[in-house]
Amino acid sequence: MASVTFQNIVKKFGDLTIIKDLNIQVEDKEFLVLVGPSGCGKTTALRLLAGLEEITDGQIIIGNRVVNDVAPKDRDIAMVFQSYALYPHLSVYDNMAFGLKLRKTPKEEIKRRVSEAAETLGITDLLQRKPRQLSGGQRQRVAVGRAIVREPKVFLFDEPLSNLDAKLRVQMRAEISKLHQRLQTTFIYVTHDQTEAMTMATRIAVINKGDLQQLDTPQMLYDHPANLFVAGFIGSPAMNFFPAKIIKEGDKMIVDTEDFKVQIPPALTGPYQGMDGKRVIFGIRPENIHDPEFAPTNISGEKINVKVDVTELMGNETLLYLVSGKNTFVGRVDPRSHLRVGHSTQVILDMDKFHIFDAETEKAVR
């Protein structure tokens, strides 16, 4: 098994810089997810690790070996792509065995590895079929199996679930997580889907425009985003943001958005002392906005006046699209809520779980 290190990695295409001084230490047996919007550089980082792109500057280290000048086939990695890339004329067995045959692996060893991988993935009964006889999920399992038989030190996944329907994506997320637990190997996984990242990763690296924004566990990213981008990217629906000003009124610290004012709980005012009059961005997640009828009783709640613009009844929850003056935002409330389109009402903000960001730097104020 092996750790992976991205050390001061820079990648340029001509004058265009795709990755800017990337530093990530991936621990042995870790499941690291690189997440970010399309074009942020996450797939390029994976291709640099695989040896499919040339590094402009910096070093990539697998285990204790710098691999900048090592051929892809000698890096002891296996990659699963977004496209299944199966040979249509070969059976499942031959697709999975193809790479081993090229390496002159003995037939008995090939048979052992393919059989074990097929059993792990639940595709033993498909080994004699051709790819055209398989469903999308089965083809994806074959592509993963082809990587498993290599018995590499590091598995690389490049958006492997993008071509699957929503239900199958959920199923395959669980399958890949279980596979990681069984194989106890280093997994590095690229996706633009923050739900995949949150549900699968040991740690998540959030990348935007070639810059690493934050590297942490899923829960820490969710609870303590480092900046405005991470706060808005992690979570669905996204965090609500309001341009605001912090005002000190006697002993009270107030967040004033011009359309509504809310008080910061006294126990949480420490980081904001000395910020009187400062422009900030106030953030609160949809699940921390409550219908007063069903609000928890043990929170520091602040009521604000709103109008309900749109409702989405989801069965297990209700999403309310709300308007307060010039601000529009989303609340995720109890499914028993009776609030409907056109209602003028109040909602409660849980001020134990708010976020403040500097309006200029966009960094979190903690």
* Cα 197 to Cα 32, 79, 123, 268, distances in angstroms: 9, 18, 26, 30
Task: Report how many domains make up the chain.
Answer: 2
What pLDDT, on the 0 to 100 scale, is given for residue 120? 83
User: Do 245 and 227 lie in a common domain?
Assistant: no
What pLDDT, on the 0 to 100 scale, is given for residue 155? 93
Spatial contact of 64 and 143, defined as CB atoms under 8 Å apart:
no
The residues of the chain scoring below 50 in pLDDT are none
CATH number at residue 347: 2.40.50.140
User: Do 69 and 185 lie in a common domain?
Assistant: yes
User: Do 104 and 37 lie in a common domain?
Assistant: yes
User: Do 220 and 275 lie in a common domain?
Assistant: no
User: Do 147 and 169 lie in a common domain?
Assistant: yes
Helix axes 107-121 and 92-102, enclosed angle (nearest 10): 140
pLDDT tens digit sequence for 174-233:
888 988 998 899 999 999 998 999 999 999 999 999 999 999 999 999 999 999 999 999
Q: Are strands 354-358 and 279-284 parallel, antiparallel or unpaired?
A: antiparallel
Q: Are strands 154-158 and 77-80 parallel, antiparallel or unpaired?
A: parallel
Spatial contact of 224 and 366, defined as CB atoms under 8 Å apart:
yes
* Cα 89 to Cα 83, 102, 105, 129, distances in angstroms: 17, 17, 22, 10
The encoded tokens of residue 76 equal 């002891």
CA dihedral 287, 288, 293, 299 (to 10 degrees): 140
Q: Residue 72: is the preceding peptide bond cis (ω within 30°)?
A: no
One DSSP character per residue, 59-104 reads EEEETTEE-TTS-GGGS-EEEE-SS----TTS-HHHHHHHHHHHTT
Q: Is residue 365 part of a domain?
A: no
Q: What are phi and psi of 165, to 5 degrees?
A: -75, 170
* Containing structural domain, residue 9: 4-233
Q: Is residue 364 part of a domain?
A: no
Spatial contact of 291 and 316, defined as CB atoms under 8 Å apart:
no
User: Do 35 and 178 lie in a common domain?
Assistant: yes
CATH number at residue 97: 3.40.50.300
What pLDDT, on the 0 to 100 scale, is given for residue 1? 61
What pLDDT, on the 0 to 100 scale, is given for residue 264? 96
Of the residues 233, 249, 265, which one is the last residue of a structural domain? 233
User: Do 108 and 206 lie in a common domain?
Assistant: yes
What pLDDT, on the 0 to 100 scale, is given for residue 243? 97
Contacts of 135 (CB under 8 A, 6+ apart): none
Place of tokens 């422009």: 279
Q: Is residue 85 part of a domain?
A: yes
What pLDDT, on the 0 to 100 scale, is given for residue 248? 93
* Cα 34 to Cα 14, 27, 60, 88, 284, distances in angstroms: 24, 14, 16, 31, 25
Spatial contact of 32 and 189, defined as CB atoms under 8 Å apart:
yes
Of the residues 233, 268, 286, which one is the last residue of a structural domain? 233
What pLDDT, on the 0 to 100 scale, is given for residue 2? 87
Find the helix or strand (DSSP H, E) in which 194 lies.
Answer: helix 194-200
- pTM for this entry: 0.91
d(C-alpha 301, C-alpha 286), whole Å? 14
User: Do 263 and 225 lie in a common domain?
Assistant: no
